[in-house]
Each structure stands twice: as structure tokens, then as C-alpha cells.
Amino acid sequence: MERARQITQDTYILPSSLVVPGLGIIPVNAFVVKAADPVLVDCGLHPDRTEFLSALEEIIDPSDLRWIYLTHPDADHTGSLHALVEAFPGVRVITTFVGMGMLSLRDPLPPDRVYLLNPGERLDLGDRSLVCLRPPTFDNPATTAVYDIRSHALFSSDAFGAVVQSPAEEAFSIPREDLRAGQLLWSSVDAPWLQSVDRSKFAATLNRIQDLDPDLVLSAHLPPARAMLPQLLETLFEAPDQPEFMGPNQAALSVMLREMTGSAPIEPKPIPTNGGVHP
């Protein structure tokens, strides 16, 4: 993990990243909103959980957390989820019915620790409301985004993410063309269904985000983006026209592993073609 830092008067980021050989760096962010009823948005990566909890303690006493807003139950959003739920009985996890079902397949949460919030509904945090909405792109059907009406920040989950070539604390410091290419690459990987969308309906989805007009876009997979919404939307509008992403095959993976380790990896045995019986 990188160091946690303050990004608005009452909002903090807990940043980490994943290095993908041959592609670049994928930022992985969680956030804390110090509202009257404090909320943690997502829970980071599982390998980072010890560092994540230490970083969280530098921002807030975790026992003061009232809510964990889980944008969706993918592994890069749930790293410290169960540790926090087990350690702090006063916190409840916000998700959807589908999200609750997905969590129950592996590590179910006690029903009384879950709060279901659907797009279009609001959550009262005492000094502000959070508005739940469906983000324009996603890779999990349980995904929701949330808009803080006090700070005008949109926590967009995977939407507006980008593969970057070097670490950056702010999205505006990434060269514009590099950000565009990284955002289009990310969308082709994370939301391959975009190639099949009705373009007019997708434009309407983007227009709804434009009408919301957040000052700050806080994606789980992009450095904080201040006053950059038009640029981000313009790029995302191009996403349905991008070619299908195709990852490395076994031969390319072997080359990558050789470059990483300096030695030839063990090649898998050929798949038998005679009914599964070797001669």
C-alpha cells in the first residue's frame, strides 16, 4: 500500500495498486468519509489487509465507523471486510440483495450486520446524505456507486478506472493521452459488454452522470480526478468502439514469466486428444 492521505476536508483515500506485466499499473483505492456517521467505502486488497487496517487507524478509530459501503463484493474491494465486521460490532455493511447473496457463497455476513441500499435510495449520515446510483460501467451485477451531496464527490466504483504506466496521486498529473488510453484499456477489460450496448442508451447513462456534475470523481481504479468529469465522460463515450480485449495466450505468458524470473517456466503437458488416454 501507499500512504493514506486527505483529499478533501472530510474525505481520505487509502491507495494501493496491482502491477500487471505487459499492461501497467491498476490503482486500487478505498475511501473514508468523516461524516457525523463515518463511512468506509470499500475495503482494499486481501494481501494488504494488515497495512490497510494500520492506515485506517491513522485516519479514524475504526470503532467509530458506522458504515462500510461495499460498492460490490469483488476481491479487490473486500480485503479487510470480514476483519472489520468481526472486530467492530457497531459497523454495518451496505450492499444490495445481489451483493449479499454473492457474499453468502463464501463468507456470509450476519443478516443484522447488512443494510440493503438500492439505486435511487439515500442514506442519512447525520450531516449529509449519500445517494446510491448505478455507475455507467461495471463488472459485477451487484455494483453501485454513491454520491456525497455535501462534498459533491462521486464514488464511482470501477467506473472511470484506468491502467496507468506510473504511480500518480492525482489524475490530472497523468498526460491526457496516456489517461485516455489507460481508461479505454480498463473499460475494455472491466466491461467487455460495452461493445454490445445500445449507443443511445449508453449516452443517456453518461448524461445522467453529467447532470449530477460531481466536482470530484473517486474511482476505485483511478487517482482522484478533480474537475475532470467532461474529459472522463468524453473518453468513456468512445469505449463501445474499442476492439475486444484479448489477454496473452500460454506462449506469451511463458515469455512474460521468463522475463520476470530469468528462467524458463515448466511448460504444461499437452492436452490429450485421444479420449483422455495417453498412448
Note whether 13 and 5 are within 8 A (CB).
Answer: yes
pLDDT score for 211:
97
Residue among 111, 109, 115 at smallest CA distance from 82: 109
Domain that holds residue 74: 5-261
Q: Which residues pair with 124 in a beta bridge?
A: 129
Specify whether the backbone of 120 is left (phi greater than 0), alpha (psi in -120 to 50) or beta: left
DSSP 49: H
pLDDT of residue 271: 60
Amino acid identity for residue 50 in this structure: T
Model confidence at 278: pLDDT above 60 = no
Is 278 inside any structural domain?
Answer: no
Q: How confident is the model at residue 167 (pLDDT cuts 50, 70, 90)?
A: very high
Closest CA to 52 of 29, 20, 26: 29
In a domain, 277, yes or no: no
Asked, for residue 187, whether it belongs to a domain, the answer is yes
Residue 267 lies in a domain: no
Q: Please report, for the domain that includes residue 179, its CATH number.
A: 3.60.15.10
How far apart CA 57 and CA 64 sit, in angstroms, is: 10
CA atoms within 13 A on the CB side of 106: 9
Q: Report the C-alpha gap between 141 and 151 in whole angstroms.
A: 27
Is pLDDT at 266 greater than 70 in this prediction?
no
Helix axes 229-238, 199-212, angle to 10 degrees: 170
- The pLDDT, as a whole number, for residue 260 is 74
Which class for 95: exposed (0-12), middle (13-18), buried (19 or more C-beta within 10 A)? Answer: buried
Output the nine-digit C-alpha cell for 98.
Answer: 445481489
Within-domain flag for 269: no
Cα-based angle 35, 39, 44 (whole degrees, multiple of 5): 140
Percentage, residues of the chain above pLDDT 90: 86
Is the pLDDT score of 279 beyond 50?
no
Does residue 275 belong to any structural domain of this protein? no
Using an 8 Å Cβ cutoff, are 216 and 226 in contact?
yes
List pLDDT tens digits, range 23-49: 999 999 999 999 999 999 999 999 999
* 63 located within any domain: yes
pLDDT band at 253; cut points 50, 70, 90: confident
Q: What predicted TM-score, i.e. pTM, was given to this entire model?
A: 0.92
Task: For residue range 53-108, list pLDDT tens digits in order.
Answer: 999 999 999 999 999 999 999 999 999 999 999 999 999 999 999 999 999 999 89
Candidates 15, 44, 37, 65; CA nearest to 170 is 15
**Structural domains of the chain, count:** 1
Look at residue 118 and tell me if it is in a domain.
yes
71 close to 42: Cβ distance less than 8 angstroms: yes
* Separation of alpha carbons 77 and 46, rounded Å: 9
256 pLDDT band, cuts 50/70/90, is confident
Is the pLDDT reported for residue 231 higher than 50? yes
Identify the pLDDT of residue 270: 63
